[in-house]
Amino acid sequence: MITINSKLPNVGTTIFTVMSALATEKKAVNLGQGFPDFDCDPELVNAVTCAMQSGLNQYPPMAGVPALREAIATKIRVLYDHEYSATDEITITAGATQAILTAILAVVHAGDEVIVLEPCYDSYVPNIELAGGVPVRVPLTPGTFRPDFNRIAAALTPKTRAIIVNSPHNPSGTVWTAAEMQQLEALLAPTKVLLISDEVYEHMVFDGLSHQSAASFPGLAERSFVVSSFGKTFHVTGWKVGYVAAPGFLSHEFRKVHQFNVFTVNTPVQHALAHFMSNPAPYLTLPDFYQNKRDLFRAGLVQTRFKLLPCEGTYFQSVDISEVSPLNEADFCKWLTSEVGVAAIPTSAFYGNGFDQHVIRFCFAKKTETLELALNKLNKL
């Protein structure tokens, strides 16, 4: 009998797959997985078609189509006041998940420690383990999900190779402040620790707040892989296109892994994105677009027994279920999907130890009629 010693022995079927399958089975409104149920801008689709019909269907340069890298460099310079070389410091990736894995594989060696702030996106820890690294889990402050710098400082050791930070934060919707980024900058200044800054929700920040990119802070930019996602920004998650901006010495190592990982990324889509980015309005108006959806959803949830947690960014709304049910988060989400007809995700799925604080996450990146249908069901609780 052939046996395999698994590289990821603790990984099973993810909660996202489980809940989406259950939502389909029960014909529930799926507010679990984080993707829109509405179409992207037709101009973007037309641009892809035009690129295909123009014959742009062969391999692009390994690092990405030059026009798209130039457009990204311009965006970062205008929004975050940092100059990246489009030639040497920006790389187009097959989505943010591939970008994060590639960054980790590029710099993490066997035995290196990587700090993750929980709750966190479910790919971080398996990525670290695939690189032979050791994940060091540091909890964000329960209830507020703000960084605890005393705990982060205590987790730093001579073996620490990197820390992964996510703002705006999935699943909580917390947005790091400039003061918090400066505190991280000061904490890392005397170290050689690298930063992987997951900024895929950078254009979804509400109530007049500003996204604080690692690129905006010199002491962080010089040690950071800054990751973003066109899928999140332009409502095309299935296209799986993102990018990494990093100083030359990091980009050089990143591209070594990237070329043997995916080599390069969908050519006509890259050309279409470069064309579409010539007008910044689609991403500059995104905060208002999603804030309207957030406000509609929150206004409906106020009528329920859920306790709303703050939502400063992303397209996720977390709620406390303590007044609704004594069930744990995972069982409540299964019950909610099966009996009420609305799917959500337990926050405990974002913790390595399954920490349960009676908080679940809804996605509001949905059509108005989808949100209203879900709210009608939730109001019966």
pLDDT 10s digits, 272-288: 999 999 999 999 999 99
The tokens for 343 are 């799917």
Confidence (pLDDT) at 335: 97
Q: Residues 125-148: pLDDT tens digits?
A: 999 999 999 999 999 999 899 999
**In the chain, pLDDT over 70 holds for what percent of residues?**
100
Which pLDDT does position 40 carry in this prediction? 97
Helix, strand, or coil (residue 381): coil
CA distance 216 to 185: 11
Rounded to an integer, what distance in angstroms lies between the CA atom of residue 123 and that of residue 103? Answer: 13
With CA atoms as reference, report the closest residue to 375 among 351, 345, 344, 348: 344
- What is the mean predicted confidence (pLDDT) over 335-350? 97
* Contact status, residue 260 vs residue 302, Cβ threshold 8 Å: no
Phi and psi torsions of 305, nearest 5°: -90, 5
The set of residues, in sequence order, having a beta carbon less than 8 Å from that of 339 and lying 6+ positions away, is none
Given a cut of 90, is residue 6 above it in pLDDT?
yes
Average pLDDT over residues 13-36: 92
**Whole-number pLDDT of residue 180:** 98
Rg for the chain, CA atoms, rounded = 21
pLDDT at 13 over 90: no
Quote the pTM value. 0.97
Task: Tell whether the model's pLDDT for residue 103 goes beyond 90.
Answer: yes
At residue 150, the pLDDT reads 98
Query: CA triplet 46, 30, 124: central angle to 5 degrees?
Result: 80
CB atoms within 10 A of CB 359: 25
Per DSSP, helices labelled H in the chain are 15-26, 42-53, 66-80, 95-107, 124-130, 149-155, 178-188, 218-221, 230-233, 248-261, 267-276, 281-284, 286-301, 329-335, 368-378
- Cβ distance 239 to 269 under 8 Å? yes
Q: Alpha-carbon distance 336 to 23, whole Å?
A: 10
The Cα 81–Cα 221 span in angstroms is 11
Report pLDDT for 15: 84
Residues 28-41 have a mean pLDDT of 95
Query: Does pLDDT of 12 surpass 90?
Result: no
Q: Which among 288, 304, 311, 307 is positioned nearest to 342, based on CA atoms?
A: 304
The domains found in the chain, sorted by start residue, are: 15-34+284-378 (3.90.1150.10), 42-278 (3.40.640.10)
pLDDT at 53: 98
Residues in the chain, total: 381
* 3-state DSSP assignment of residue 297: helix
pLDDT mean over 298-324: 97
* Widest CA span in the chain: 61
pLDDT band at 269 (very low <50, low <70, confident <90, very high): very high
Task: For residue 33, name the pLDDT band (cuts at 50, 70, 90).
Answer: confident
pLDDT of residue 381: 86
Q: What confidence score (pLDDT) does residue 326 get?
A: 96
358 pLDDT exceeds 90?
yes
Q: What is the mean pLDDT of the chain?
A: 97
Q: Is the dihedral of CA 67, 68, 72, 78 positive or negative?
A: positive
Provide the Cα torsion 277, 282, 285, 287; round to 10°.
-90
pLDDT at 51 over 90: yes
Report whether pLDDT(16) > 90.
no
Mean pLDDT of 213-235: 98
State the Cα–Cα distance between residues 321 and 313, nearest whole angstrom: 21
Q: Using N-to-C axis directions, what is the helix angle for 95-107 and 248-261, rounded to 10°? A: 110
